[in-house]
Amino acid sequence: MAACIPLSVKMSPSTLVGFSYVLREQLCSRQRLKPLTELCRQGYSVAAGQTAEDSSAAGFSGPLDHYNGLIGGGSLREDEHQKEVLQRLDQLHKTLRGYSNAPTSIFSMFFTKPKPPKGYYIYGDTEKKKRVHFHGFMLDVHKRIHRLKQSMPKRKAGKMAKSYDPIAPVAEEISEEACLLCFDEFQVTDIADAMILKQLFENLFLKGVVVVATSNRPPEDLYKNGLQRVNFVPFIAVLQKYCQTLPLDSGIDYRKQNKPSAGKLYFLSSEPDVEATIDKMFDELAFKQNDITRPRVLNVHNRKVRLNKACGTIADCTFDELCDRPLGASDYLEMSKLFDTIFIRHIPLLTLNKKTQARRLITLIDTLYDHKVRVVILADHPLEDIFVHDGDHSHDESHILMDDLGLKREEASSLSIFSGEEEKFAFQRTISRLTEMQTEEYWLEGDRSSKP
C-alpha cells in the first residue's frame, strides 16, 4: 500500500516555511518510511524534524492552523504573501487526506482511477524555510538506477546487450513508497539530472504521485543556459502540467533581520594573531569533548574521505580540504551527521576560475545549514566579497572541457557551466545563510551536546 504523507508546514523562529517530506537522501527505503505511514493511519502529519510526539501534541489541523498558531505565539510575524500561499497548501492538505495512488483491490485495476490533485511549484525569494535536499533525492535516484543496472544479467561475450531503461522501474518503486513528494529548493545544475527528469517525473505523475516544490527560480528558468538544455526543456512543460505555479516573494530576507550575535565567528586573514585566536576557540570546544584531537577517516559509499583534524563532534578543516577535492553532497551530508561544529579556514577569493570550488562551498553551506551544523570561518575577504563575478575566464580546465565538447569559445560563453551564472545566483543564498549561522539562536540550536 502506498505511503500517503499528508502535507505539513513547520515553522519556528529560524524556519519560515517548512514542508513535510518523504524523501531525503536514502530515505526512500520502506523501512525508513514505516513510521510516517503509521502516523498517517493515525491521522497525524509530520514536518521535517518533528517526532510523532511533537506532531500529536501540537494538534494542528493543517498548515494554515499551524502558521496562525505560531503568529499567535509570537514566533512569527504575519506575512500576507506567505499566508496566501499557505491557504492554497492548506486546501491541498485537506484534499490529500485519504488520497492514495495505489489500487485498493484487484477490481480497481479495471476501472479509471480518480484524477490526482495538482501539486504546487512555489518560487520566489523563499529563503527562510526548512530545506530538504532535492539533490539528495536525485542522488538516491541515481543509486537506484545503478542498482537496477547492476542486477541485470551480464551479457555473453560476442552478443549485443539488450537496451535496458531503469528509469521507469525506479519511478515505480518510488510511487509504491509515497504518493506525495515535497521538495525544497528545487534546482537543476547537473546534466545527469537534467537528462532524466522528464521521464522520471512523467512516470511519477502517471502513477498518481503529487509533488509540492519550492524554488528560487520560476519553472521556465530551471537549468537556464545549461549544457544540452534543449533536451531538458520538455520537462518544464510536464512540471507545469501537473503542478500549479505560485509566486512567493515578500521582499524580506528574514535571515538578515537583526538577531543577537553568537559572537565573532567570521574572521579575516588580515587580522592580527587570527590563527592563534581560532586555535584557542577549537581547543576550548575540544576540551568539552570525550575524545582526543586526531585525523578522522569518513566512509562515504565505500570511499575514504580523510579529515586531518577532528575531536569528537568538532572538525577543523581548510577550504582546500573541503572544496578543492572532488567532494559532493553525499560527503557533506556524512560530515553533517558526525559533526555539530566545523571550522573552515583559508577561504580564498573565489573568481570564475574557481567556480567549481565555489559550487562545492555553496553545496557545503547548504548541507550544514540544513542540519544546523555550526561554522567558524577564516577567509581572505569579507563575506559579501568572497565571490567575484568578473575576472580571468581563461582557465585551462574550462578550455579543455570546451574542446572535449566541441564548443567554440563564443558558443560556450553563454553556458552556465562556463559563465558561472548559476554560482552567482546561488551564492546570494549562501551569504544569507552564513549571516544567519552567526546568530546566537542558530549557534544554540546547533549544540548537540545538550540533546539526547
pLDDT(354) > 60: yes
Which of the listed ranges 48-62, 254-268, 302-316, 351-365 does the model predict with the highest average pLDDT? 302-316
pLDDT value at residue 443? 93
Q: Return d(Cα 113, Cα 451) in angstroms, integer.
A: 46
> Strands of 180-183's sheet, edge to edge?
180-183, 210-215, 119-123, 243-247
- Comparing 25-29, 74-78, 223-227, 235-239, the range with the smallest average pLDDT is 25-29
pLDDT: which is higher, 98 or 173: 173
**C-alpha pair distances (Å), 135 with each of 26, 69, 103, 147:** 11, 32, 30, 18
Q: Compute the average pLDDT of residues 36-52.
A: 31
Per-residue model confidence as pLDDT tens digits over 204-257 = 999 999 999 888 889 998 988 777 888 899 999 999 999 999 887 665 656 556
Q: What is the 3-state secondary structure (H, E, C) of the chain?
A: CCCCCCCCCCCECCECECCCCCCCCCCCCHHHHHHHHHHHHCCCCCCCCCCHHHHHHHCCCCHHHHHHHHHHCCCCCCCHHHHHHHHHHHHHHHHCCCCCCCCCCHHHHHCCCCCCCCEEEEECCCCCECCCEHHHHHHHHHHHHHHHHHHCCCCCCCCCCCCCCCHHHHHHHHHHHCCEEEEECCCCCCHHHHCCHHHHHHHHHHCCCEEEEEECCCHHHCCCCCCCHHHCHHHHHHHHHHEEEEECCCCCCHHHCCCCECCCCEEECCCCCHHHHHHHHHHHHHHCCCCCCEEEEEEECCEEEEEEEEECCEEEEEHHHHHCCCCCHHHHHHHHHHCCEEEEEEECCECHHHHHHHHHHHHHHHHHHHCCCEEEEEECCCHHHCECCCCCCCCHHHHHHHHHHCCCHHHHCCCHHHHCHHHHHHHHHHHHHHHHCCEHHHHHHCCHHHCC
pLDDT value at residue 43? 29
Mean pLDDT of the chain: 76
pLDDT(29) > 50: no
pLDDT: which is higher, 316 or 409: 316
pLDDT: which is higher, 1 or 86: 86
Q: Compute the average pLDDT of residues 289-301.
A: 94
Assign 81 a pLDDT band (cuts: 50, 70, 90). Answer: confident
Assign 164 a pLDDT band (cuts: 50, 70, 90). Answer: confident
Per-residue model confidence as pLDDT tens digits over 400-425 = 555 555 555 555 555 555 556 667 77
pLDDT value at residue 126? 55
Which of the listed ranges 128-142, 174-188, 235-249, 334-348 does the model predict with the highest average pLDDT? 334-348
Per-residue model confidence as pLDDT tens digits over 99-152 = 888 765 555 555 566 688 898 888 876 543 334 568 778 888 988 998 888 888
Assign 16 a pLDDT band (cuts: 50, 70, 90). Answer: very low
What is the number of alpha carbons within 13 Å of residue 310 lying toward its C-beta? 19
Q: Compute the average pLDDT of residues 259-275.
A: 92
pLDDT(270) > 80: yes
pLDDT(61) > 60: yes
Assign 15 a pLDDT band (cuts: 50, 70, 90). Answer: very low
Q: Compute the average pLDDT of residues 267-295.
A: 96
Q: Return d(Cα 44, Cα 61) in angstroms, integer.
A: 9
- Comparing 76-90, 104-118, 145-159, 192-206, the range with the smallest average pLDDT is 104-118
Cell 504546487 appears where? 120
List Cβ neighbours of 386 (8 Å cut-off, separation of 6 or more): 347, 349, 350, 379, 427
pLDDT(385) > 70: yes
Q: Return d(Cα 253, Cα 429) in angstroms, integer.
A: 10
List Cβ neighbours of 302 (8 Å cut-off, separation of 6 or more): none
pLDDT value at residue 223? 85
Assign 301 a pLDDT band (cuts: 50, 70, 90). Answer: confident
Which of the listed ranges 59-63, 146-150, 321-325, 347-351 does the model predict with the highest average pLDDT? 321-325
Q: Give the pTM.
A: 0.59
pLDDT value at residue 152? 81
pLDDT value at residue 345? 97
pLDDT(337) > 90: yes
pLDDT value at residue 251? 59
Q: Return d(Cα 373, Cα 365) in angstroms, integer.
A: 9
